[in-house]
A and B are shown apart, each in its own frame.
Chain A
């Protein structure tokens, strides 16, 4: 994969991957109030990772991101389920969400919702799923 000289691709990837990561995190965080959310954020993040795989090859990226993406699936699902079960602690039905406004140091008055935790689970699962599928198939030669 890396035999051809793809300097332009690699150089642009450095830029674009970070922009994509940033965009995916934006989508994830903004999802509650603007278009976006865990699902699309996760897809965008995996797009960034796929781009890195395409530019730098399997071995290199494994060194940069030493994560087995398969484990993101149970982690994501675990977060989603645990955040849902968490509502039992407060005597609420399964999957009850709540939110509150906090005064954060830099960002100022911000709203934080427990739904974000659930969305984090979605986000991680989606990354795990897409990366597992793509890497499994790509590896299958």
Chain B
């Protein structure tokens, strides 16, 4: 199974070489065999007595992450969809993409996506699943932006990336929490520990995070906004990623984890609630679109909402209906996208207002679209699979589990009505899609190309899918026990036996379907009368506006915030740094009771010391208030010499000597520099700034004083200076303890200090001598 998952990626490595022959052989032909082989490989597992099994490959054993592939009914259904529709899409793309396109890029991305998607549905390890999940986001990003020279493509790619990665990351958070709670990274082990998870206090958080991942990927309300913009991708990509496979990754995730959450009532409320809202909103909005692919995008959103709603129900019948609809939707939606691509390809336009009356020009496409749209609408005919799953949806929505929470109870009664409401609009846009494109007046003169039927190769894939629609429609039980029952079992956790039949007798679902058809037909015919309702609502409520506002706003406000403190003024930065030190140090000292004052081991203070201290304080104040810079420097010198004198008093002759000489040199250098500078400008700051600066300065001074006093008052250990006093003669061979410490005991400090001096000197030399050098600039 490892091979099956990674073979597309392996082949992708060779595509760049193969694409060099694209003038002779279309690169897609090489690619075609990859999904076909995978499809045939997995086909063998279909059967009534299929039992789940797993293959394990070691990857990062120390982190408990291994490539565990687990194949059960649900995975099998998805794997077959991915590889089967992958084959058809590749075949379609051979005829769709011209040889002048960058075919190598396209197929590398496509194969990358295929591996990612196979990995998502086969992984048993949550972190491996997450890795593949993000790979689908990345490859989808690359595919949407395939025509990167178009502004809309880049916008759509970025939008889908931001939204799906946002969801992916929150899903990772949910996985990490699950791993911590269950102590395992395997989904099957997690399912076996359902009780532990259900009793965890983090349960709502876990569920919310994982569902966020699923909802963003599967374009559920309000995260559906990326999908219509992703329609800028080439049509094979839209057909493959954005109708049949990737958008169902979120469905897969919910289905995969539903054995854990299904008894938790909020799972029903959130999943079914969001699902039904998506269903209604998507179908309502689809009628408004004028772009063929736009209609299909909103239609996909609404159909995904329907599947999501069924997954939230948590009953056996609903699980079965969900997997059945996954299969059905993949068949008719894939074919409809391909037909839309054909129309685009052969007429040069996707705008439904310009199209019309194409039936005579494109009879085969029209036939395919007829089956596809009618199946999507759920027209009650015994050879359309869409009707069966829609009927099952109505059926299951009427037989929900008993609810305890009030909100769940309200939803229980409301969902059937909303389902019918959403389905009416589904009917309307399906009819609009078909009749608007293929019947009525034709506007051939306005179209960029003269319409004609597509080449045969392009029609094969949609035709095969439509044949699938009809086969499932005629013999709905063909894959029931062998495939769908196993998939439903994986979702609901118990054996499912469901018989699919066209005729249920005169029962509620049938009447619901009839209402849909009748009201839908009336609404379609009268659509020009009520179209104005769209003008009332969406303009203000548009979620795209919200998305753009969030994006622009975050950029604008982060720039504002950054500019507010990064104003380029060093004064401001220093003030901020010192305030930060003040706050942090003060808080730390205060909370840890760090401020202590002990008076017991203080030395006597002599009059001379006080005198020098007073002189230094006065000089320091003088420096602050001096108006003339030379005066300020000279007064600063007084502080330095005062310090040297203090060193003498405290019996540090070496320090005193050094301080004396260094102070002299510093003052001389200061004078030299300031001689060339303009005089200090009289400060023009406002009183407020001055007060703030004074407060910060005094606060910092007070803090440092307190820290110094506290440090002196709390000596925890005896100093090590006794060691130096005792040993400097015997071990170091000198009587000047300071010097022995400098060159012997701690010589390495001195070594690097002279290095620092050397660097400083060379830097000054470089700055003064080399600045006119043109080469340096």
A interface vs B, CB < 8 Å?
A: 27, 31-40, 43-44, 47, 70, 73-74, 76-77, 80-81, 84, 94-95, 97-99, 111, 113, 115, 118-119, 121-122, 125-126, 128-130, 132-134, 136-140
Contact = CB atoms under 8 A, between A and B. Distances in A.
A82 to B, nearest CB: 11
Interface stretch (B252-260, B327-335, B764-772): B764-772
A97 B450 CA distance: 96
A58 to B, nearest CB: 15
B733 interface: yes
Nearest to B672: A137
Given A37-B742, A97-B743, A129-B760, A115 B658 contact: no
A44 B740 contact: no
Interface string B727-752: 00000111110111011100110110
B765 A132 contact: yes
Given A43-B662, A137-B672, A77 B754 contact: yes
B747 A37 contact: no
B725 interface: no
Dominant secondary structure of chain A at its interface with chain B: helix
B47 interface: no
Given A73-B762, A84-B747, A32 B757 contact: no
A27 B657 CA distance: 11
A99 B735 CA distance: 13
25 contacts: A35-B654, A39-B658, A39-B742, A40-B657, A40-B661, A76-B754, A80-B754, A95-B748, A99-B734, A113-B734, A113-B744, A118-B747, A119-B739, A122-B750, A125-B754, A125-B757, A126-B757, A128-B758, A128-B761, A130-B665, A132-B761, A133-B761, A134-B665, A136-B769, A139-B769
Given A35-B657, A115-B743, A140-B768, A133 B669 contact: yes
Given A115-B733, A119-B739, A138-B672, 14 more contacts: A34-B736, A37-B654, A70-B762, A81-B751, A99-B732, A99-B733, A115-B743, A115-B747, A125-B758, A129-B760, A133-B669, A133-B764, A136-B764, A140-B768
A80 B762 CA distance: 18
B379 to A, nearest CB: 89
B733 A32 contact: yes
A31 B733 CA distance: 12
A-B residue pairs, 4 tightest by C-beta:
A99-B733, A32-B734, A35-B653, A129-B761
B454 to A, nearest CB: 80
B761 A32 contact: no
Contacts of B658: 39-40, 43
A35 B742 CA distance: 12
A110 B301 CA distance: 96
B188 to A, nearest CB: 59
Contacts of A134: 665
Nearest to B673: A137
A140 B768 CA distance: 6
Interface residues of B, number: 36
A83 B281 CA distance: 83
B755 A77 contact: yes
Contacts of B755: 77
B739 A32 contact: yes
Contacts of B657: 27, 35-36, 40
Contacts of A47: 661
Nearest to B656: A35
Q: Which of B673, B742, B748, B769 has the most CB of A within 10 A?
A: B742
A24 to B, nearest CB: 11
A95 B732 CA distance: 12
A38 B743 contact: yes
Interface in B704-738: 732-736, 738
Contacts of B760: 129, 133
Contact of B740 (A32, A43, A84, A137): A32
A124 to B, nearest CB: 9
A125 B649 CA distance: 30
A51 to B, nearest CB: 12
Contacts of A118: 743, 747, 750-751
Contacts of B734: 31-33, 99, 113, 115
Nearest to A141: B676
A94 B746 CA distance: 11
Contacts of A27: 657
Contact of A35 (B736, B744, B747): B736
Contacts of B769: 136, 139-140
Contacts of A31: 734, 736, 739
B689 to A, nearest CB: 34
Nearest to B765: A136
A37 B732 CA distance: 14
B735 A115 contact: no
A33 B757 CA distance: 25
Contact of A36 (B654, B750, B754): B654
Contacts of A113: 732-734, 744
Contacts of A97: 732-733, 743-744, 747
A122 B754 contact: yes
Contacts of B736: 31-37
Contacts of B747: 84, 95, 97, 115, 118
Given A36-B654, A39-B658, A137 B758 contact: no
Contacts of A44: 661
Given A32-B736, A76-B754, A119 B768 contact: no
Greatest chain A CB density within 10 A among B673, B757, B764, B768 is at: B757
A137 B751 contact: no
B484 to A, nearest CB: 76
Contacts of B653: 35
Nearest to A34: B736
Given A32-B735, A113-B734, A115-B734, A129 B743 contact: no
A19 to B, nearest CB: 16
A62 to B, nearest CB: 16
A103 B312 CA distance: 100
A139 B771 CA distance: 14
Nearest to B735: A33
B765 A70 contact: yes
B725 to A, nearest CB: 14
B663 to A, nearest CB: 11
B757 A129 contact: yes
A43 B661 contact: yes
A77 B765 CA distance: 17
A13 B590 CA distance: 59
Contact of B764 (A43, A122, A125, A132): A132
A84 to B, nearest CB: 6
A32 B747 CA distance: 13
A86 B754 CA distance: 18
Nearest to B745: A97
A119 B654 CA distance: 14
B764 A73 contact: no
B739 A36 contact: yes
Nearest to B767: A136
Contacts of A36: 654, 657, 736, 739
Most buried by A among B657, B734, B754, B761: B754
A95 B303 CA distance: 78
A132 B762 contact: yes
Interface string B657-679: 11001100100010011000000
A129 B584 CA distance: 39
Q: Which of A40, A47, A94, A121 has the most CB of B within 10 A?
A: A40
A47 B515 CA distance: 106
A137 B743 contact: no
Contacts of B764: 132-133, 136-137
B746 to A, nearest CB: 9
A24 B738 CA distance: 18
Given A36-B654, A37-B654, A115-B744, A80 B751 contact: yes
A115 B758 contact: no
Residue from A81, A97, A138, A139 having most chain B Cβ neighbours under 10 A: A97
A139 B767 CA distance: 12
